[in-house]
A and B are shown apart, each in its own frame.
Chain A
Amino acid sequence: MTEHEPLRLHVPEPTGRPGRHTDFSYLHVSSAGEVRRPPVDTRPVDTNDLAYVLVRVLDDDGRAVGPWVMQTDPKLLRRGLRAMMKTRIFDARMLIAQRQRKMSFYMQCLGEEAIAIAHALALEPGDMCFPTYRQQGLLLARDDVDMVEMICQLLSNERDPMKGRQLPVMYSYKRAGFFSISGNLATQFVQAVGWGMASAIKGDTRIASGWIGDGATAEADFHTALTFAHVYRAPVILNVVNNQWAISTFQAIAGGEATTFAARGVGCGIASLRVDGNDFLAVYAASQWAAGRARSNLGPTLIEWVTYRAGPHSTSDDPSKYRPADDWAHFPLGDPIARLKQHLIALGAWSEQEHEHAQKELEAQVAAAQKEAERYGTLADGHMRSAAEMFKDVYKDMPEHLRRQRRQLGV
């Protein structure tokens, strides 16, 4: 007989499940304005405390408070609000189009709009994002990306810029600083570091921004990216979007229980922040801070954006099977659009009427873009790129065996 008690395997569980409300106290939410803002040239080790708190700027009344408040032109904030609204409208329409079988699949970013959009506005032309499939906001924040072309990709039609080879939402926009989305998780995180290293090797001034979700931080590529970013002091921002859920898997299964994802960065010698991802002003300020570090040869910054995946993982998912159906309504960080709207109205830089008007105008824009894109076909009507496209771009020049196979298919 042993005197020790039997060992037990610990399998983390979320605090809420269908029929049982989530206790969000595990998030350890700081008050707005409470968290200090270190100088941009701070030592990574001196950000240790910041990895366990939550940088927030907007308080419950929509006021901007504390050391992370930046002098931001209301014009930029209005632009950000409109881009978030556009993104939400775009997602809603594309979901309907998917249900109408005009596209095979869709992924919305409901509830997470502030992160990609405020971040995009903090970057400079020439910088490169290595996104996951939930950063469509990086594209929709820009004026130079045509929604019609994006929708053609989603519809896999004859004008699909990916030529029918990629699932919907797997965009690639080199000219807009948006790296090709893989679909395999975490791979792009290391690539972002490599891109940043390349910029440093060439002595350029461009920086990279890598993206990953809480779930995929468990992949080796996440840790590899941190190591390489630290070793070579790569000019890169390492964004971890912690939206609490990886399909049905709660973030604790990825290793978030009793610690934070930001804490991973400090352990690797990387300056790290944990930020309210539903607070547009906090996202913008933290992104600026990290971009400033990267652009000044101060190396990488890891930012954990705390948010909530308000919708299903994808159109193939039903979250009511594994979490409370009204979870988002209780999420303590609220809705990023409502919060920025409240702030702008409090500033006198926005009004309910303007909001309503913008909503209608953006709905009309998205609808018009969809209508035009559908002129070039949808997955449902079979107006797609020729099967001959399948054999192109496997190699730069088509080798003989692919020519033979294309002839066999008769295209």
Chain B
Amino acid sequence: MDIKTRTNQTSISMRKTPMTMIQALRSAMDVMLERDPNVVVYGQDVGYFGGVFRCTEGLQAKYGKSRVFDAPISEGGIVGTAVGMGAYGLRAVVEIQFADYFYPASDQIVSEAARLRYRSAGDFTAPITIRMPCGGGIYGGQTHSQSPEALFTHVCGLRTVMPSNPYDAKGLLIASIECDDPVIFLEPKRLYNGPFDGHHDKPVVPWSRHPLGEVPEGHYTVPLESAAVFRAGSELTVITYGTMVFVSEAAVLETGIDAEIIDLRSLWPLDLDTLVNSVNKTGRCVVVHEATRTSGFGAELTALVQEHCFYHLEAPIERVAGWDTPYPHAQEWAYFPGPARVATAFKRAMEA
């Protein structure tokens, strides 16, 4: 495996520990609660219990109830109060229990957090981080499986981030908390416990057996607006993020096509140079995401590649995405764009 994700400020001497993505996210919040007295963490079930996915376990006991606490079932209230706290000078890190539940907070995210700096000409800002688990693969049905990233990338003033592994998750979450802009931090929940490659019938490989599950214990950041070349290759470029990074890797192994996999990590604003350089080198491009296809973020990526790489392209840009249906329950694996669908797109791109 050729992984070049280490574009960050990690000190080589920092001790590393195997962590799941859940532990890495918790470690990021732990580090920031420790370093910055203005950081607070709250959301539904995040206090005493430590979150339904356990991401905040132990933090209330360590930092006290006024810095880590439970919130009412009110996404609008969670984000709205976070905006007010931002105006005060705090850095709220709030959890929306599932990305599928952010909709009641839309006004506070889109009209308020995203535009506060702009409309007040910098008088007030909302340096908040909104964490939310996203994606399917856990039999969550249509209300626990969505990938709404395109709804955020369309909003000017927001940063949208999605890590694919524990190392990046911690570094990106710290960078997001330290960032003075509002950040939507999407966590692919199918990756919480291991690098899921789309083969749902096979046992999950735990993060402890993956190099990206080795996470420094202290403070480090993975910079925003920086993509990773997850796998270097020469025949085609895969532009993807989140769970689909590992699904794309499985498709590479199964097709034998030497694809370069770009893990965007920051969806918007994004690292355009990395993907343009790669597509200009390979001349072929497949865009992969789990979210529904139409007006998905893949449409924007495809347009960008077309604008910036048209004269280097040797084949039409392929898109692999979820079907344009709600996320089904029993038919989950027919919906999920697994390695076979990605492999088919690879072959089409190579044969064109």
Contacts and interface: CB of A to CB of B under 8 A. Distances in A.
Nearest to A390: B118
Contact of A180 (B124, B181, B269): B124
A227 B90 contact: no
B74 interface: yes
Nearest to B158: A395
Given A182-B111, A191-B112, A221-B80, 8 more contacts: A187-B80, A187-B111, A193-B80, A198-B85, A201-B40, A393-B117, A394-B157, A401-B269
Nearest to A389: B121
Interface string B239-253: 000000000000000
B119 A180 contact: yes
A10 interface: no
Interface in A212-240: 220-221, 224-225, 227-228, 231
Contacts of A393: 117-118, 121-122
A215 to B, nearest CB: 16
Given A190-B77, A194-B82, A199-B88, A184 B72 contact: no
A47 to B, nearest CB: 22
Given A172-B124, A201-B90, A191 B84 contact: yes
A300 interface: no
Contacts of B217: none
Given A180-B124, A198-B89, A400-B272, A394 B118 contact: yes
A197 B81 contact: yes
Most buried by B among A161, A224, A231, A400: A224
Interface string A156-173: 000001110110001011
B156 A162 contact: no
13 contacts: A162-B119, A166-B119, A190-B76, A190-B83, A191-B112, A192-B84, A197-B84, A201-B90, A393-B117, A393-B122, A395-B181, A396-B125, A400-B269
B121 A224 contact: no
A305 interface: no
Given A228-B72, A399-B225, A187 B108 contact: yes
A221 B85 contact: no
B74 A224 contact: yes
Interface in A68-112: none
Interface in B129-179: 156-157, 159, 179
- With a 10 A CB-CB cut-off, give which of A130, A166, A184, A198 has the most chain B CB atoms: A198
A394 B182 CA distance: 11
Interface string A292-330: 000000000000000000000000000000000000000
A128 interface: yes
Contacts of A394: 117-118, 156-157
B180 interface: yes
Nearest to B157: A394
Interface of A: 128, 130, 161-163, 165-166, 170, 172-174, 179-180, 182, 184, 187, 190-202, 208, 220-221, 224-225, 227-228, 231, 393-396, 399-401
Interface residues of B, number: 43
Nearest to A187: B112
B181 A396 contact: yes
A191 B108 CA distance: 9
A172 B112 CA distance: 14
B74 A184 contact: no
A220 B76 contact: yes
Contacts of A161: 121, 123
Nearest to A162: B121
Contacts of B122: 393
Contacts of B104: 220
B266 to A, nearest CB: 10
Sort A-B residue pairs by CB-CB distance and give the 3 closest, nearest first: A194-B84, A190-B80, A194-B81
B123 A173 contact: yes
A198 B156 contact: no
A231 B108 contact: no
B66 to A, nearest CB: 5
Given A201-B67, A399-B225, A194 B80 contact: yes
Contacts of A200: 66
B84 A193 contact: yes
A194 B79 CA distance: 9
Contacts of B179: 396
B331 interface: no
Nearest to A130: B84
A126 to B, nearest CB: 11
B107 interface: yes
Contacts of A221: 76-77, 80, 107-108
A196 B83 CA distance: 12
B13 interface: no
B84 A208 contact: yes
